[in-house]
Structure 1
Amino acid sequence: MDINTRLAERIRHLRKTAGLSLDALADKTGVSRSMISMIERNQSSATAVVLERLAAGLGLSLADLFSAEKPAAAPLSRLAEQPVWRDPQSGYIRRNVSPSSANPDLQLVEVTFPAGARIAYETGLRQSPVHQQIWLLAGEMHISVGEAVYAMLAGDCLAFELSCQTTFHNPGQTDARYLVAIHN
């Protein structure tokens, strides 16, 4: 099953499990009912910004949307089996690294962020806090957390809570690559 089909099924399942109608999730997220319906029917590829809004409306992190519904018993996550997704708007690529059997409160995600790309998440307070650490492995990134802007170079690590608008920008001429550790 491809990643977009898996995302469509996962979002529909999570929405129904939460007891939310399409209209209720639309009201919570600011994403239109028709867009949510198209995503759930795998008729539209959602952007990272839309997926983040849906995740927040469901009380989850973005990485939770990519997690397997039923954890596998294996503690090893093979590279070939790790879900990979490309944001259709910015072109950034995310790969869920953590085994599905790992503690769901800690997730590792590898991101390749294209040169010149920018993405802004309108993240607000969540029911339970989501903390991130971003370890830049290659390239450079400017990450804004609220009003603070952090210019990062390879080897730098930034820790913050997802509680305000967060913007990611690669000002460089080459792709940036970083690891995100997410703690729910």
Structure 2
Amino acid sequence: METESDINGHLAARLRGLRAQNGLTLDELSERTGVSRSMISLIERGESSPTAVILNRLAAGLGVSLASLFAEAGRAEASPLVRHADQRVWRDPESGYLRRALSPPGHPSPIEIAEVILPPGARVAYDSGPRTARIGQQVWVLEGEVEVTTGRDSHRLAAGDCLCMGIDRPNMFHNPADRPARYLVALAATSLRPWPGERPVPD
């Protein structure tokens, strides 16, 4: 099982690699995301345990999903199977939510799947905007209840409910109950057609 230090080291390498891939300096990524240059530098050196909110801002600025920060870079020889004991688990230091990456690391796939356990009363708000690729997300509740606010819409989900949503607008997850909520998140890149109710972006 990976330690917090191991995961911070992985996040550091992924962020450095993605920033280089995008040709961005620390100052440019800071300007894009609203995350201070010093904080980005600490994260890239593995010297800080970033929150989910900060990681999501960085992911948006790099044009990727939050889940992809925990994934490995795609490799043709990567195994299509990952055992439960080898799945990367990360806890958000702010909200306490636990995220388990279920998809086989590094295996080329258009889909990323994660399991999330949201503690009683916990709330996580993401304020990211459009990414370079349109990413669709579906949330399927396995246990408990989750209040999901996406843009101006709010949904209270119970066990068995599944919500399809975009990640290019403010989203908030809240557990209103007195017991943990557990849900799956599936993400995939989609076409650049607008979401229902969204105006097309001019070329």
TM tier relative to shorter chain = over 0.9
Matches within 5 A, 1:7-86: 7-71=11-75, 73-86=78-91
Shift of 1:105: 2.0
Q: Which amino acid aligns with 1:126?
A: R
Query: How do residues 125-164 of structure 1 correspond to structure 2 at under 5 angstroms?
Result: 125-164=130-169
**CA–CA distance in 2 between the matches of 1:87 and 1:101?**
23
Find the counterpart in structure 2 of residue 113 from structure 1: 118
Structure 1 Cα separation of the partners of residues 66 and 39 of structure 2: 17
Unaligned runs of 5+ in 1: none
- Conserved? CA contact 2:60–2:128, under 8 Å: yes
Q: Secondary structure at the match of 2:60?
A: helix
Question: Could you tell me how far apart the structure 1 residues matched to 2:109 and 2:20 are?
Answer: 20
Q: Deviations over 1:143-171 (max 9, x none)?
A: 00011110010010000111210000000
Query: Which whole-Å CA distance do the structure 1 matches of 2:37 and 2:78 have between them?
Result: 36
What whole-Å deviation, never above 9, does each CA across 1:45-97 have from its counterpart, x for those lacking one?
10000000000101100011111125352111111111111100000011110
User: Contact 2:141–2:162 at 8 Å: present in 1 too?
Assistant: yes
CA deviation after TM superposition for structure 1 residue 42, in Å: 1.1
1:171 is matched with which residue: 166, 173, 176?
176
1:18 partner letter: N
What TM-score do the two structures reach when normalised by structure 2?
Answer: 0.87
Q: Partners in 1 of 2:110 and 2:28 — Cα distance?
A: 26
Q: Shift of the alpha carbon at 1:18?
A: 1.4
Which is greater in Rg? Answer: 2
Letter in 2 for 1:123: S
Distance 2:45 2:158 in 1: 40
Per-residue CA deviations over 1:119-152 (Å, capped at 9, x if unaligned) read 1100212222111000000000000001111001
Instruction: State the shift of 1:101 in Å.
Output: 4.5
- More displaced 10-residue stretch of structure 1: 134-143 or 102-111: 102-111
CA RMSD of aligned residues (A): 1.2
In structure 2, the gaps of 5 or more residues are 190-203
Query: Which residue identity does 1:161 align to in structure 2?
Result: G
Deviations 1:6-45 (A, max 9, x none): 1111111111121111001001111000000000111111
The change in CA–CA distance for 1:157 and 1:91 in structure 2 (over 3 A counts) is: same
Which range moves more in the overlay, 93-102 or 135-144?
Answer: 93-102
Q: Distance in 2 between matches of 1:70 and 1:60?
A: 14
Q: What is the alpha-carbon distance in structure 2 between the residues aligned to residue 139 and residue 150 of structure 1?
A: 14
Equivalent position SS for 1:14: helix
